[in-house]
Structure 1
């Protein structure tokens, strides 16, 4: 593999390198896969992790909360903290944190050690997402930026499909520690690849936290962020504790869980693929209809989830509905804040990670207090509130513009794809 030795200087905002560095782009996409898999693994390995470390499944689920809480702060502050550091060095540091976090979890002999590993993941995750897109657009000429972004964020779909069903299936064969060891190996491959192909990329611009607060004062931005909190919080309140529900209520084993979650991943991709047509018809109705559908599915699982065929159908429907959200909310961001998409993207990272933390945390408490049905009922209520918020208060632009289609919010989270 050839080492790219030339620097990419700080070109004018409208220009870029003459020759694309596709190998570097694909190496970043592999990191995306690694981060998504590592973030999502506890959802498929919750039961064996809890049993091995002698904690409740609700406490084990807080490993997701810990990662997300740390990622919130990392996404907000990392760009400012590293504003004078070569972006190649920074991205390699994030890849190294991904390796270290998986190894620490794999060898965890106590609950605090598990949380420590997940904290390291949160630092790398939030930092990576805060600048991955901004770096990627400097690896290719301007005309090729949409293709580069689609490659990098395409790793989200791969990670989502692979993490939960594969983790659940292989976890029964090699144990949850073996799964995290495999994740560390994947992260090591990404690190080595990036070490040889990432060029030196000098920092650009002055990162300011004040811009984030200025954005929240704009009309509709605050309401939109509340909608995001409810949607993504409701999803992770449901999704983090899906395995305990399928095992304890539906009564399926590890193979059944893996098959149902694979169906979730496939329909998730289908939802993403069809989201463009739905958004062109009506962005506002898409943003409202999908959480309403998800709320219905959650409440349906509470009442009918004891039957494996019904649970399979409902979980697949949930995967489709959630697949629409990354594109829909990205479109909303680019239409609402067209002049500050980078700052709005950074704020979006923090909002979504905070939502994941809140959803996983509340879900864990409901699971311990009322069982899996309690967590799912809570998810349904939160998502009903999300639909009501969109219908009553959100007024996105009605027109689908070429600019919004070509300029996705540059900074997105695990499980979130670009607006293409």
Structure 2
């Protein structure tokens, strides 16, 4: 692996821990701050809202900076904002800090995805992007379970010390290992924003925001699902999260290879269809602890297999505005995060079991398939017209 790609993966690791560890320590935070689990779930939405706001905004602000400098600034912001969670005195402060922590997330992945594709060998662009996202999956394999263990046995505040350490290592690796990739010719903000006049741009954003919601309906409430429905002891949740992380690592690389071999949109249609079926199995069989363990692995695998194809599809669609478009995808992913956490929580508020959010996830995944199909048919029609 190139050292430059490793530094991006380390950034993905840092972001992955801070984003996904909340799902594992949600009961601990709720207990400590004396709030309900659905209210604590709003902290997940706060982070996602920060990504939605920060992704396009920070890319626009830094669009004419050299990519290395931009990545260093974003890594510094990630480290500082997450460190503030350690001293959060109440729910309101933590909500604000989570919002700030999300601001640099999308911009880092947006800039990083474009840089990774430029550093990649020809024909392996999606696989290079998947290396960056590997940090996100390894976070779920190692970082999130460790953070969840610390949250259960000590205090959730110590979990964010891990994030601060990972962020500091990211800054160092970017400084020493990331080459000075040349910035593209300076472009006016208006030129960048013209991309959002294309129907294709909004179709890909919709695919991501709605289709990815299936993942977040599941993972936002995975801790109480495992304890209240599957019957696992809370002490075992960190180890089960490692199983989900292992699936995500495998799925991430599978998705990258599939997107390089087949068209990105066909890959997305297949993967989102499989995700809908998998979430149905989660709803039906999570009461069986053995089936639950298998489904934790498969759901993690399928959900992260779709990341690299979607990112690749957006970059292919946004020629000339790749960075802002790539950042917009991260905003869309976290719109899915917020929607999944919010909509998935509605059945819980209504009194249904912790398996019920997966029904919402099924609907969102199927809707994502429908939108991707529209994109595919539209693209094929345009190509036919160009041949005439």
Q: Same fold (TM over 0.5)?
A: yes
Asked whether 1:94 is paired with 2:92, we answer no
Is the CA contact 1:104–1:113 (under 8 Å) kept in the aligned structure 2?
no
Q: TM-score, normalised by structure 1?
A: 0.77
Deviates more, 1:51-60 or 1:343-352: 343-352
Is the CA contact 2:111–2:326 (under 8 Å) kept in the aligned structure 1?
no
State the alpha-carbon separation in 1 of the partners of residues 157 and 46 from structure 2. Answer: 19
5 Å matches for 1:269-284? 269-275=249-255, 278-279=258-259, 280=261, 283-284=264-265
- Pick closer, same or farther for the CA change 1:68–1:206 going to 2, 3 Å: farther
Q: 2:208 aligns with which of 228, 236, 253?
A: 228
5 Å matches for 1:171-250? 171-194=151-174, 204-211=184-191, 213-218=193-198, 220-250=200-230
Task: Give the SS at the match of 1:394.
Answer: helix
RMSD between superposed Cα atoms in Å = 3.4
State the alpha-carbon separation in 1 of the partners of residues 222 and 120 from structure 2. Answer: 43
Match of 1:418 in 2: none
Match of 2:359 in 1: 377
Task: Give the SS at the match of 1:252.
Answer: coil
State the alpha-carbon separation in 1 of the partners of residues 164 and 131 from structure 2. Answer: 22
Match of 2:280 in 1: 299
State the alpha-carbon separation in 1 of the partners of residues 295 and 312 from structure 2. Answer: 27
1:187 Cα deviation after fit: 1.9
State the alpha-carbon separation in 2 of the partners of residues 300 and 144 from structure 1. Answer: 36
1:333-380 CA-partner distances (Å, limit 9, x unpaired): 344445543343233222222222222232334433334233222112
- Pick closer, same or farther for the CA change 1:238–1:311 going to 2, 3 Å: same
Is the CA contact 2:13–2:135 (under 8 Å) kept in the aligned structure 1?
yes
1:67-94 CA-partner distances (Å, limit 9, x unpaired): 1212222111213323566665544433
Q: 2:36 aligns with which of 34, 51, 56?
A: 56
Match of 2:343 in 1: 362
Is the CA contact 2:251–2:305 (under 8 Å) kept in the aligned structure 1?
yes
Equivalenced residue count is 377
Bigger share in helix: 2
1:382 Cα deviation after fit: 1.5
Is the CA contact 1:79–1:207 (under 8 Å) kept in the aligned structure 2?
no
Match of 1:348 in 2: 329
Gapped regions of structure 1 (runs ≥ 5):
1-21, 399-420
Task: Give the SS at the match of 1:271.
Answer: helix
State the alpha-carbon separation in 2 of the partners of residues 274 and 136 from structure 1. Answer: 17
- Pick closer, same or farther for the CA change 1:110–1:33 going to 2, 3 Å: same
Match of 1:169 in 2: 149
1:237-282 CA-partner distances (Å, limit 9, x unpaired): 2211111211121121234323332222222222233336655466
State the alpha-carbon separation in 2 of the partners of residues 335 and 145 from structure 1. Answer: 14
Is the CA contact 1:246–1:257 (under 8 Å) kept in the aligned structure 2?
yes
Is the CA contact 1:284–1:395 (under 8 Å) kept in the aligned structure 2?
no
1:56 Cα deviation after fit: 1.4
Gapped regions of structure 2 (runs ≥ 5):
381-388
Match of 2:135 in 1: 155
Task: Give the SS at the match of 1:372.
Answer: coil
State the alpha-carbon separation in 2 of the partners of residues 299 and 105 from structure 1. Answer: 35
Match of 1:395 in 2: 377
State the alpha-carbon separation in 1 of the partners of residues 130 and 283 from structure 2. Answer: 37
Match of 2:293 in 1: 312
1:142 Cα deviation after fit: 8.3
